[in-house]
């Protein structure tokens, strides 16, 4: 394994106040009927990604829009970075108006060879607390890939998995306005989400890439809107292949007992993301 195997940076510590403004702007972006959110309201699941945003200087950004590696994230030489998966366990809800502490550490590094060439996976664990109360434990998996010039062409993953019969579904279009607003709300400067010329010529993608966490949030939103009052105890999801704007996206799910299965498909029913949630 490369020198990244010995990468053990110090933990990161951060504090943020869960203001109502970002949550209400995200609700507006989703055309949500829950407006207005006020202090004391529970923050919907996955909306915590609106907070603890990076404050990297513009001069510290790489060509792709991500912060330069080698401070907290390892100095991986592979240029392309994507959100691969997440595992989340809620101990208690986030409440708007609270001050939350966050501790982050590199949990695991691994390398493998995939269909598109060399891959490096980085697991980052985040722990969120409100005073003495545990709120959330989250493991975010980042994958680094070779550039398109190193691997012949961007390939879409075709899953052989047989999906269950959907109990509820919704079709949406993640148009450039939606992607821009989500990038703005999460202070995300990754160019694959807004720079079409860069996406096509530097990354080899056919269109603007839909954010992985946005897709996951859309799936959870659909679950919550279909079953108002439902609470999620844990969630794990994996991104299998990118979704592109302005392709239609079909969000689907079903509940069996205390478990919900959620999935997102692009054109031709191509599976892009699958998630499993345990419910309270």
| Confidence (pLDDT) at 5 | 63
Q: How far apart are CA 131 and CA 134, in angstroms?
A: 8
Q: What is the CATH number of the domain that holds 85?
A: 3.10.129.10
Residue 97, CA distances (Å) to 18, 22, 54 in order: 5, 12, 20
1 lies in some domain = no
Please give the model's pTM, rounded to 2 decimal places: 0.92
pLDDT of 19 > 50? The answer is yes
208 lies in some domain = yes
Q: What is the mean pLDDT of residues 124-146?
A: 96
**23-62 pLDDT per residue, tens:** 999 999 999 987 799 999 999 999 999 999 988 889 888 8
3 lies in some domain = no
Closest CA to 94 of 276, 231, 264: 231
pLDDT of 1 > 50? The answer is no
Here the tokens at position 185 are 């709300």
Q: Cβ(175)–Cβ(182) under 8 Å?
A: no
| Confidence (pLDDT) at 31 | 93
| Confidence (pLDDT) at 68 | 75
4 lies in some domain = no
**Bridge partners of 252?**
169, 263
Beta strand pairing call for 259-265 and 133-145:
unpaired
Residue 206 neighbours by CB under 8 Å, 6+ apart: 154, 200, 244
200 lies in some domain = yes
5 lies in some domain = no
Confidence of residue 156 (pLDDT cuts 50, 70, 90): low
Domain count, the chain: 1
Structural domain of 125? 10-279
2 lies in some domain = no
Here the tokens at position 86 are 């997440």
242 lies in some domain = yes
**174-185 pLDDT per residue, tens:** 999 999 999 999
Q: What is the mean pLDDT of residues 245-273?
A: 97
Q: Cβ(20)–Cβ(38) under 8 Å?
A: yes
């Amino acid at each position: 394994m490369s020198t990244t195997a010995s990468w053990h940076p110090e933990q990161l510590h951060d504090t943020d106040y869960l203001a109502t403004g970002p949550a209400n702007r995200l609700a507006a972006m989703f055309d949500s009927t829950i407006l207005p959110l006020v202090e004391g309201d529970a923050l919907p699941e996955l909306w915590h990604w609106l907070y603890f945003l990076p404050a990297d200087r513009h001069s510290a950004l790489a060509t792709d829009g991500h912060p330069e590696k080698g401070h907290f994230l390892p100095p991986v030489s592979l240029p392309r970075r994507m959100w691969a998966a997440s595992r989340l366990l809620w101990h208690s809800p986030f409440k708007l108006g609270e001050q939350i502490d966050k501790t982050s550490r590199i949990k695991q590094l691994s390398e493998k060879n995939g269909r598109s060439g060399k891959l490096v996976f980085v697991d980052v664990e985040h722990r969120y607390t409100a005073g003495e109360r545990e709120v959330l434990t989250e493991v975010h998996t980042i994958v680094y890939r070779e550039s398109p010039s190193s691997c012949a062409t961007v390939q879409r993953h075709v899953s052989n998995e047989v999906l269950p019969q959907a109990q509820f579904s919704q079709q949406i279009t993640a148009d450039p306005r939606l992607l821009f607003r989500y990038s703005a709300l999460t202070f995300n400067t990754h160019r694959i989400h807004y720079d079409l010329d860069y996406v096509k010529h530097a990354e080899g993608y056919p269109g603007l890439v839909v954010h992985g966490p946005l897709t996951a949030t859309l799936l959870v939103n659909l679950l919550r809107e279909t079953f108002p009052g439902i609470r999620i105890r844990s969630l794990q999801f994996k991104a299998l292949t990118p979704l592109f704007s302005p392709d239609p996206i079909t969000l689907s799910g079903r509940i069996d007992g205390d478990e919900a299965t959620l999935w997102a498909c692009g054109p031709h029913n191509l599976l892009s993301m699958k998630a499993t949630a345990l419910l309270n």
